[in-house]
Amino acid sequence: MIKFHLDQKTGIPYYRQIIDQIRFGIASGKLAVGEQLPTVRALAVELKVNLNTIAKAYKELEIQNILETQQGTGTFINSTENKMFESERHQKLQSIIRDFTTVSLSYGFTIDELINELKNQKKWKPTSM
Amino acid sequence: MIKFHLDQKTGIPYYRQIIDQIRFGIASGKLAVGEQLPTVRALAVELKVNLNTIAKAYKELEIQNILETQQGTGTFINSTENKMFESERHQKLQSIIRDFTTVSLSYGFTIDELINELKNQKKWKPTSM
DNA sequence: ATGTTTGTACTATAAGACTATTACAATAGT
DNA sequence: ACTATTGTAATAGTCTTATAGTACAAACAT
């Protein structure tokens, strides 16, 4: 089971930190399809936040078809619709890239600089995860 | 002179849209070093917002040494300190890249995918500018 | 000197974001 | 059936952000 943790100092809202950790857990294979997540209450106690904060995170991921929740049963990594269609996956990638390039160009960075820097990041591991 | 415009629908705050347009204007050469920007009042009237909204944008850019303001005179593209030191420039680039990769990886995109997609964006022009 | 033009400071308001409190509803085990 | 466990919904409180209204202060032009 994945180990969650929250950091007050980052300024990133709790529910979003949880979302990120679940997303990254799936992407990195630490969370398996069909696996049950902690109950909202259990995780709320463990992380010392309100159960609604957990529920909010789970809810957002459910809307994105990443989680499956059953009232009375629990919350699970979605087994049926977990994979995005290739088209929407590509759309998402493009939207991320567009935001990224907009910011970068406004700072005067060229796309070549971005590409070069990315190549140096290949072995990188997220700091807050 | 650069033409400003605000879009309510984007959800991006007015003052930030102004910041972005100035930043991008400089990066793209549409704003020359030493050039005077519209006065806070003039731009406020033109964009139909409060003059403090403009002042806030100018202020943030002044803090970043991108603009130079003189009370009673006007606001100008900073001629002396406009260029970041190479070290802080690199730091900024890395922080942008780190945020970007964190998000991307959580969606299951690989860095190679990002690089490939970036290469397709080389001729791209920002939509909202 | 005085008036106009410039940016600045202070205050208030509105809206939204985030989290918590509390009560409700569905499911499963017995 | 009943009880415990699960997620859900409605509400409220607190904080931050974004913008506006209004008055102030510095620089320039004449």
Question: CA(B53)–C1'(C16) in Å?
Answer: 18
How many Cα atoms sit within 13 Å of A7 on the Cβ side? 9
Instruction: Among B20, B21, B83, B97, pick the best mutation site for testing chain A contact (most A Cβ within 10 A).
Output: B97
pLDDT at B126: 47
Low-confidence ranges of chain B (pLDDT < 50): 124-128
DSSP string, A40-108: HHHHHHHHTS-HHHHHHHHHHHHHTTSEEEETTTEEEE-SSS-SPPHHHHHHHHHHHHHHHHHHHHHTT
CB contact under 8 A, A96 and B94: no
Least Cα separation, residue B19 to chain A (angstroms): 9
Alpha-carbon distance of B33 to B35, in angstroms, equals 5
Give yes or no for residue A121 having a pLDDT over 90.
no
Q: What is the pLDDT of residue A127?
A: 43
Fold of A8-77: Arc Repressor Mutant, subunit A (1.10.10)
Residue A123 has pLDDT above 60, yes or no: no
Nearest-angstrom CA–CA distance, A15 and A51 = 10
Residue A26 at interface with chain B, using a CB cutoff of 8 Å: yes
ipTM greater than 0.90 = no
Q: What is the pLDDT, as a whole number, of residue B79?
A: 78
* A31-57: pLDDT as tens digits: 999 999 999 999 999 999 999 999 999
| Residue B128: both structure tokens together | 């909202």
Spatial distance between the Cα atoms of B71 and B58, rounded to a whole number of angstroms: 12
Backbone angles phi, psi at A126, to 5 degrees: -60, 140
Query: Residue A101 CA to nucleotide C29 C1', Å?
Result: 54
- Residue B73, helix vs strand vs coil: coil
Distances (CA, A) of A68 to A37, A42, A78: 10, 17, 5
Residue B12, pLDDT score = 94
Instruction: Tell me if A20 sits within 8 A of A61, measured CB to CB.
Output: no
Nearest to B57 by CA among A104, A98, A106, A111: A106
Nearest to A37 by CA among B108, B110, A47, B102: A47
Nearest residue in A to B61, CA atom: A107
Closest CA to A58 of A49, A68, A44, A46: A68
User: Which residues from chain A sit within 8 angstroms of residue B119, using beta carbons?
Assistant: 111, 115
Report how far residue A12's alpha carbon sits from residue A19's, in angstroms, rounded to the nearest whole number.
11
Domain ranges, ordered by start, for chain A: 8-77, 86-119
- Supply the pLDDT for residue A126: 47
Residues A52-100: tens digit of each pLDDT: 999 999 999 999 999 999 999 999 999 765 566 788 889 999 989 998 9
